[in-house]
Structure 1
Amino acid sequence: MLFITYYELNPDFDPAELTEVAMNIIKKGMLNPEGTKDLGNYLSPDYWGIAIAEIDNEEAAIISANTWRLAKPGIFKVLKSAVAKKMEEILPIIVSLKKKFKG
């Protein structure tokens, strides 16, 4: 399953502190939990970002979505994670669903 995560980091955290959290997660072997393949993690200059991952199962999704939040409470102002598909794959599903409600 493809998962996308949108996040806004807390701008009050010192970048050095964020680096410490990242190093701790890496040291514990939790950066990419089993069942997770990181496809990209992009951070903007003003502390919001998007992560994209292939995730094999629900447990891996839960671990992936919560690792950073639990490693450093308050690290995120916003965190949203969900299963995703390419737009050209999801639109026909939504159109078909809409037709069922039109009658």
Structure 2
Amino acid sequence: MRKMTFPTLEQISLTSVLYALSDPTRLQIVKSLAEKEEMTCCSFVFKSAIAKSTLSHHFKVLRDAGVILTRAEGTQGINSLRKQDLDQRFPGMLDAILRVTD
């Protein structure tokens, strides 16, 4: 697995986070990670079939925006939500978005 980079707390922008959360698939990924602390890329269940390349794109958008972290464990990518960082940068935003979309 290649080395991934993530924005620092100061580099996380509101527009990039809101863009990342504007897609229903990415929002579903974030909701799942909010319920479970960590999940592999393969463990997400979606209502419709999603190509692996499309799913990889969604994870990249979320990583680049600073919404999730992905760490390598063997050949698997383990994803987690950067909730503490997002709450520090934009207090209450993530909780409000997740509450409204339930």
Larger RCO: 1 or 2 (CA < 8 Å, sep 6+)? 1
Fold similarity call, TM over 0.5: no
- Greater Rg over alpha carbons, structure: 1
> Could you state the TM-score of these two structures normalised by the residue count of structure 1?
0.33
> Could you state the TM-score of these two structures normalised by the residue count of structure 2?
0.33
